[in-house]
Structure 1
Amino acid sequence: MVVCGDDALAERLAAELRELYRMRVTVVLPSLPATTDSGNGTVGRARVAALLARTQAVVNRTANSEAAPGIRVLQAPVLDEEALAEAGVARADALALVHDDDETNIRAALAARRLNPRLRLVIRLYDRKLGQHLADLLDQAAAVASPGLDPEALDTSTTVLSDADTAAPALVATAVAGTSKVVQADGLLLRAVERTPPGRGEVADPGLCTLALLSSTANDPAGEEGSDASGQDGPLLLPDDRAVAVARGRGTIVLETVTHAGPTRPPGRLAGRGLPLASFFSRRLRWSLAGLMLSVLGLAVAAYFTTGDHPLHAAYVTLLDLLAIGDPATGEPPARQVLQLLSGFAGLLLLPVLLAAVLEGLGTFRTASALRRPPRGLSGHVVLLGLGKVGTRVLARLCELGIPVVCVEEDPEARGIPLARRQRVPTVIGDVTQEGVLEAAKIHRAHALLAVTSGDTTNLEAALYARSVQPGLRVSLRLFDDDFATAVYRTLRAAHPRALTRSRSVSTLAAPAFAGAMMGRRILGAIPVERRVLVFAALDVARHPRLEGRTVAESFSPGAWRVLAIDSAAPDERLPDLAATPSDEGAEHPSGLVWDLHPGYVLRPQDRVVLAATRQGLAELLGVHPRTRPRATGP
């Protein structure tokens, strides 16, 4: 694996590939002289030097480990074909281009595709449309360069990702479920939850399935994580039902879907068919209109009985009197004259009601595109601070899950304002550090606070103030500096031990998605379990003899792999990448995954399954050998 980048995402991605997937990694960094001459001077040199020092520390730690391959570090002033060739792109399995500059990543991607048509490319781009066109172009170039080979056999893919898109699911899961150990499959968020051993007489909830049995010393303060006094080495991954039943005093890791137990987000949208009357007129105006209609009906009935006219003619004469366009009832019977006076009086009452209805209707249509204010009785919602690149994606995911949310944004022209307006999400425009802004977002009755603005101090100040208002509030902060995030987490955790606090950096949350894309589109993600790792993958049953023609129960290999779900969608309607983040701009795609599987279901060649596996189990299932030890290198 080759990683090219100059920020924290490159460092995190290299560590993810080394520690979770046990891959050999080459990191290409910009050289110090080139950064010094670029105009940024001391700032750029300090940043690259710090990144080089951190990466070198990872190399030193790897050198002392026999279980993981090492990390090779190169420096190149320009990321051209010569630098890519020196990094070994021609023989590499995958290349990640994670520079903050889109133009640098695009140029390197075009050069890398010429060097190695079979290379898996993972490119960091902010422009989605440009990324889609670039991916199609690079995949077409790979197909032209290798015309005689099957694209699936090549496993050639170009994946364009944005760190904001990939970090959004983990941020949402942190706010809703309190964990960032999530895997995304066909738009559904799955989380790994640690369960303590059940007490006597209690029955443990297995969730979707039991992923692992923890070591007996995992919850023992005197024990070491991953050790077991009974002689077992570490946790038991993917146990069968018998192993789970006989386990005593051991915690479990179960798989669950990320759901929201609180109130659902009200639709509140005026667009669509069947516009409700309640959205158009206020309650007081509706009662006024109903009273006048009953009055008109009563007058028409009275005219029918007193004059003896036909019912339609009586109603017609009543409306003429009501609108003051009838002739005076001179020479008519007294009953007719009284009814005309009552109808004229009702007409006087009708005029202001009609005017109010017109004005209120115009106001409703005028405010249909305006931002909503938080309703009075709102509670149990998520307060989202910031509607930039990350905040927009987080808001889209919260809306997809039906979670009530209130947004706070200082800039009325921010990127996420149109999405909030389109989804009719309550939004407060103002500086979150100013007094009264968080109160307007109903922070005292909120379920969680998600601070994802671009300023670390702004996020921290908002979190501290929110905790002073509601000490038990669930807080998740977006912080750029990992050391600062660790210090904030420890301090807030010590000050509020009963409240859930999470401090996250976007690079840390985005690295797993980039690493999964480098491993191939079949990899959905990985979840660490103590010192071991479970990998989630999507595989076509065809050409896998361990799966094809076997039942779900027969395909289960304890300690190696386990089928979790089957994609019920037709092969031509399936998403090519189940781990892709849904787009709020495209058409909605209903999930076709079936999780409640019958053990006797026979897996067919046209089926696609989602499974959990160990690294060794997945390698055995795919017919490859995992690289568990570094290749010998010369001095």
Structure 2
Amino acid sequence: MGGHMAILPHQRSTEVHAGGHMVVCGDDGLAYRLADELREVYRQRVVLVVTGEEAEHRAGRPVVVPADTTSGGTLVPVHVLTAQAPTEEALLRAGVDRTTALALLYEDDETNLRAAIAARRLSPGLRLVVRMYNRKLGRHLEELLDQAALVHSPGMDRSVLDASTTVLSDADTAAPALAATAVAGTSKVVQADGVLLRAAERTPPGRGEVPDPGLCTLALLSSTTADPAGAEGSEGSGPRGPVLLPDDRTVAATTGRGSVVLEAVRYAGPALPARRLARRGAPLRALFSSRLRWALAGVVASVLALTVTTTVLTDADPVHAAYVTLLDLFSINDPAIGAPPTNQIIQLLSGLVGLALLPLLVAGALEALGTFRSAGALRRPPRGLSGHVVLLGLGKVGTRVLARLRELDIPVVCVEEDPEARGVPLARGLGVPVVLGDVTEEGVLETAKIGRAHALLALTSSDTTNLEATLHARTVRSDLRVALRLYDDDFATAVYRTLRAVHPEALTRSRSVTHLAAPAFAGAMMGRQILGAIPVERKVLLIAALLVAGHPRFEGRTVAEAFRPGAWRVLALDTAAPTTRRPDLAASHRAGEEPQLLWELHPGYVLRPEDRVVVAATRRGLAELLDGPPSRSERPGTPRSL
């Protein structure tokens, strides 16, 4: 992509008559971002259906995209329709009965559910991409809509059915990247066939050092990463920008740049306590303090000692001696008047132990009550906490990021203004400290121990709030690692350069959820299973699973010949038989299932039509894979460096 910048405003229309287009319905910025992704990258005709409020909010803000000067193609305008809800009438007006794919991107899951069912009834063979936050509901919806497609079209090909309905979450797509951005030693993570693919950032190797290539090198980082005025964080490309999917010659010839290397790792999460009470997350040992446990152990030892003494000094058997000792302990035995002095002394000693037991029982009851009451309350940050991540915002995105951070066993302190926010119950259940308050007010970040934190993740829905919190945190600690969520790319680039110039010793990253999520939604609309997106600075690599059949750039070629530097690269091969393959490689393994992907492929392996492969591709590279036959220079037999 290159050339000058051209302003291509959306084209408003009242009805769509022609077919062969794609329909995007939504009520926020993700719909606009996806429409531009389909139009710019995949050269698709798009009909965008938005609410009147969103259209008014976007009025006067034309979409700026790079003009294409390499292929001579022309970017067609996006037809914009307004509808308050995705009713059948609105879907028909958008031409859903003649479209190839429909994306439903409303923030409300129920709205998307109703519209998806209506769209499947209007067009059984339609490819549906649905945005849903509720994972369980999303899985059920996929099964329901696929079954509905079979009912309405009994002769539908099974391979088409596997891609007919895709449920995605923008929060789930962006959460691994947002969590990885703020944490040193972790990186972008994509799950495929039960294996976590970790895109690890490597610093430039020193003289004489041999870098570990991992599975492969996904990218070379920007040459300006050490330059405070560099362009990292922007969408610009060029010699100073990142190089995606380089070949081995480029990697060997490049010096002074960091790299992004793909690693296959197994996740071993933190072990949960073996015993829990009342399903409230409180382990048994947390009910009583250590002093109380030691005191209770002393009482038990005293009772045992008195029992043994009674057995030795009297004629009682051990069971009777223990019974008499407990009666004396609880002061319910008759006084030992007229008994031998030994029995009287033992009874007095048992009474003294009983006096010590009474306050011990009261203290234990009070501590247990306090533990159960505090189990339902939000924790406060401990005094000595350090090296943690401060997470601002517990909305949809913040909740998913919190779950990811806890999966990696990383200490977190959350800051949220709304006590009824979506992620507050999750934080309470995980025992994560939460500070309730407005992050822009004095003292809130200090309560979260920002001065001793390792990183700050500003993920609220307000750009200005995230920026204000970042600036305040930098006044407390100038070298703090910061990742802030910003929607506007130009604004994000300006913020990045300014913060880096003022604080060159600190790491700053800006991330947009819609920017990270839109490529995955667009790839699903094109009929490919997207396993995840890996951000490289402010560019994105897609990890996708596709069949070799019908792709002349893969079919009959070796793995080395199928590699196109800067566009796509084959990462793994599905070794399962076509009839036993799992349709969704991104899903977690069930008990007893074995991995079916082979990650270390021989460069000379010839790809067969029945093979399914996992590829890493740029957005434009994935779009090119969906086009017609390859050019003459791409025909089989042309060697490529691996």
C-alpha displacement of 1:122: 2.0
Unaligned runs of 5+ in 2: 1-20, 633-642
> Alpha carbons of 1:484 and 1:525: their partners in 2 closer, same or farther (altered >3 Å)?
same
Q: Give the aligned partner of residue 396 of structure 1.
A: 403
1:351 and 2:358 equivalent? Answer: yes
Question: Separation in 2 of the partners of 1:335 and 1:562?
Answer: 89
Question: Separation in 2 of the partners of 1:508 and 1:321?
Answer: 75
> Higher mean Cα deviation, 344-353 or 288-297?
288-297
> Alpha carbons of 1:216 and 1:475: their partners in 2 closer, same or farther (altered >3 Å)?
closer
40, 45, 62: which one aligns with 1:26: 45
1:321 and 2:332 equivalent? Answer: no
Q: Give the aligned partner of residue 509 of structure 1.
A: 516
Q: Give the aligned partner of residue 261 of structure 2.
A: 254
C-alpha displacement of 1:284: 0.9
300, 304, 320: which one aligns with 2:311: 304
Q: Give the aligned partner of residue 34 of structure 2.
A: 13
**Contact persistence 2:486–2:492 (CA under 8 A):** yes
Question: Separation in 2 of the partners of 1:111 and 1:324?
Answer: 76
- Percent identity of equivalent pairs: 64
C-alpha displacement of 1:287: 0.7
Which amino acid is 1:453 matched to?
A: T
**Contact persistence 2:519–2:542 (CA under 8 A):** no
Question: Separation in 2 of the partners of 1:489 and 1:575?
Answer: 42
Q: Give the aligned partner of residue 639 of structure 2.
A: none
Q: Deviations over 1:317-365 (max 9, x none)?
A: 2222221122222333333322222221111111110121222223333
461, 464, 474: which one aligns with 1:457: 464
Q: Deviations over 1:400-453 (max 9, x none)?
A: 333322222222222222222222322222333333333332322222222222
Q: Secondary structure at the match of 1:625?
A: coil
> Alpha carbons of 1:246 and 1:367: their partners in 2 closer, same or farther (altered >3 Å)?
closer
> Higher mean Cα deviation, 365-374 or 318-327?
365-374
Q: Give the aligned partner of residue 276 of structure 2.
A: 270
For the aligned residue pairs, the C-alpha RMSD in angstroms reads 5.0
Question: Separation in 1 of the partners of 2:585 and 2:91?
Answer: 30
> Higher mean Cα deviation, 395-404 or 408-417?
395-404
**Contact persistence 2:216–2:261 (CA under 8 A):** yes
C-alpha displacement of 1:150: 0.8
Q: Give the aligned partner of residue 70 of structure 1.
A: 75
Q: Give the aligned partner of residue 564 of structure 1.
A: 571
Q: Give the aligned partner of residue 286 of structure 1.
A: 293
> Higher mean Cα deviation, 88-97 or 601-610?
601-610
> Higher mean Cα deviation, 484-493 or 604-613?
604-613
38, 47, 50: which one aligns with 2:58: 47
Which amino acid is 2:22 matched to?
A: V
Q: Give the aligned partner of residue 201 of structure 1.
A: 208
22, 26, 30: which one aligns with 1:2: 22
Which amino acid is 1:76 matched to?
A: L
> Alpha carbons of 1:253 and 1:170: their partners in 2 closer, same or farther (altered >3 Å)?
closer
Q: Secondary structure at the match of 2:156?
A: coil
**Contact persistence 2:273–2:283 (CA under 8 A):** no
**Contact persistence 1:169–1:184 (CA under 8 A):** no
Q: TM-score, normalised by structure 1?
A: 0.76
Q: Give the aligned partner of residue 410 of structure 1.
A: 417
Q: Secondary structure at the match of 2:545?
A: strand
Q: Give the aligned partner of residue 130 of structure 2.
A: 123
Unaligned runs of 5+ in 1: 229-233, 629-635
> Alpha carbons of 1:354 and 1:253: their partners in 2 closer, same or farther (altered >3 Å)?
closer
Q: Give the aligned partner of residue 168 of structure 2.
A: 161
> Alpha carbons of 1:343 and 1:155: their partners in 2 closer, same or farther (altered >3 Å)?
closer
1:405-554 alignment, distance < 5 Å:
405-525=412-532, 535-539=542-546
Q: TM-score, normalised by structure 2?
A: 0.75
Question: Separation in 2 of the partners of 1:574 and 1:531?
Answer: 34
Which amino acid is 2:37 matched to?
A: E
Q: Deviations over 1:228-248 (max 9, x none)?
A: 9xxxxx9684636xx489646
C-alpha displacement of 1:461: 2.6
Which amino acid is 2:416 matched to?
A: E
Q: Deviations over 1:459-504 (max 9, x none)?
A: 2232222222222222222234444333332322222212122223
Q: Deviations over 1:535-580 (max 9, x none)?
A: 5222467899999999xxx644463465534668998997633457
> Alpha carbons of 1:294 and 1:169: their partners in 2 closer, same or farther (altered >3 Å)?
same
C-alpha displacement of 1:204: 0.5
Q: Give the aligned partner of residue 632 of structure 1.
A: none
> Alpha carbons of 1:526 and 1:409: their partners in 2 closer, same or farther (altered >3 Å)?
closer
C-alpha displacement of 1:23: 1.4
Q: Give the aligned partner of residue 616 of structure 2.
A: 612
> Alpha carbons of 1:109 and 1:314: their partners in 2 closer, same or farther (altered >3 Å)?
closer
**Contact persistence 1:493–1:500 (CA under 8 A):** yes
> Alpha carbons of 1:310 and 1:604: their partners in 2 closer, same or farther (altered >3 Å)?
farther
**Contact persistence 2:574–2:598 (CA under 8 A):** no
Question: Separation in 2 of the partners of 1:296 and 1:570?
Answer: 68
614, 625, 628: which one aligns with 2:629: 625
Question: Separation in 1 of the partners of 2:629 and 2:538?
Answer: 21
**Contact persistence 1:198–1:204 (CA under 8 A):** yes
Q: Give the aligned partner of residue 631 of structure 1.
A: none
C-alpha displacement of 1:394: 1.9
1:174 and 2:181 equivalent? Answer: yes
**Contact persistence 2:103–2:129 (CA under 8 A):** yes
C-alpha displacement of 1:589: 11
Question: Separation in 1 of the partners of 2:422 and 2:400?
Answer: 10
Q: Deviations over 1:65-116 (max 9, x none)?
A: 4266523322435588899789786775433344567788678756765775
1:341 and 2:348 equivalent? Answer: yes
> Alpha carbons of 1:446 and 1:128: their partners in 2 closer, same or farther (altered >3 Å)?
same
